[in-house]
Amino acid sequence: MTSFHHPGTVLTDHTFEVPLDHQDPAGERITVFAREVVASRQAGDDLPWLLFLQGGPGHGAPRPIGRDAWLDRALQDFRVLLLDQRGTGRSTRVTRQRVRARGNPRRQAEYLAHFRADAIVRDAELIRRQLGGDRPWSVLGQSFGGFCAVTYLSFAPEGLRDVMITGGLPGLHATADDVYRATYPRVAAKNDAHYARYPGDVQKVRAITEALANTGITVEAFRSLGLALGSSTGSHELHYLVEDAFEAPGVLSDAFLAEVRHRLDLTGAPLYALLHEACYAQGGPTAWAAHRVRDEFPRFQDPVLFTGEMIYPGTVDPAFAEVADLLAAKADWPALYDPQRLRTNTVPVAAAVYHDDMYVDRELSEQTASSIGNTRIWVTNEYEHDGLRVSRGAVLDRLIRMTGGEV
């Protein structure tokens, strides 16, 4: 273990060896990294653990500086563990080279299938036992991290003291098709709100899509920048991006193209594209659900309409194209949730459900909340999907008080 100090905090790095396949505990091992954060004045105290499960999939945990964002509130009560979920950050990261080393695309797909929420939860349970023995811990799940938290409640509730979820209550029975049928209308509504705020962007975006030929950036990829519309400041950021797009009439500037390429680059997080739809897979194949379902919404034939948190065959790194097709065709994904066990859950659960969330459907979240015992939800339109990050601890504070029965 390595420890170091930031303003007001002590951070300690941990590494753990876990099975690649938890069904084969004696088989191949991988490394999982996690960073402990504790308030300096409480570094020697016996504090309860709070495990943070990051959104994604495919993104490492935050790299905090001091007590920034929601950490300031968390550190009042907890010793926080920021987990790099397997395949991300410093946890045997999935990279182009590492995937290629597995052999042919079929072997690559078999390897990548071990990086979903079910395996992440099994990792967390092994880590909990190493750090705290039989003592249960609290879990905070943001977005995809909330999906993982519900999987945790399904597989190992004995390891949980309480669970807090922000923008991450999944549909327990929803297929990928169901998710995108619910999502596309909300993405269209976010587009409408953006263009109502910045009406001049309509013609600018249309001109950009017409000028993208021979830039190496496809119109489909550019439209996926609409992912930003689901965050608190994303509409404004998108406006600032497009307002200075042209060097001259019909000629996109090098600075604009460089920024677009940077925003689209998933080199550091290939799992985001490769396993995105697999987050919803239980049983049958997803079969490129976002791509298929989009055809049910004719408005999206207009290239000025940005898309959102959708992955299409044409936006996957060509190096992963074949393995991505195999994952989309995989028909034997194991279940991620246990509805019967969730109905009888006794672990206190508090969830922030964002009324206008572009990524996670509110109605599906509310259905799930009513299907998990001992669960309370707070439905709010005060924040977008990134409410945990931008609320300066207010969202987390409310969830902590909800699990304690104070509100």
332 is catalytic: yes
Active-site residue among 45, 46, 134, 332?
332
Is the Cβ–Cβ distance between 384 and 193 less than 8 Å? Answer: no
**Backbone torsion region of residue 89, taken as left when φ is above 0, otherwise alpha when ψ lies between -120 and 50, otherwise beta:** left
Is the Cβ–Cβ distance between 158 and 179 less than 8 Å? Answer: no
276 is catalytic: no
Largest CA distance in the chain: 66
Question: Distance between CA 169 and CA 150 in Å, rounded?
Answer: 7
Question: Distance between CA 99 and CA 55 in Å, rounded?
Answer: 22
What is the DSSP annotation of 208-250? HHHH-TTTT--HHHHHGGGGGGGSSSHHHHHHHHHHT-EEETT
Active-site residue among 143, 231, 365, 371?
143
**H helices, E strands: number in the chain:** 17, 11
Active-site residue among 194, 276, 291, 385?
385
391 is catalytic: no
**SS3 state of residue 401:** helix
Cβ partners under 8 Å of residue 188, min gap 6: 297, 299, 300, 305
Q: Cβ of 63: how many Cβ atoms within 10 Å?
A: 10
User: What are the catalytic residues?
Assistant: 143, 332, 385
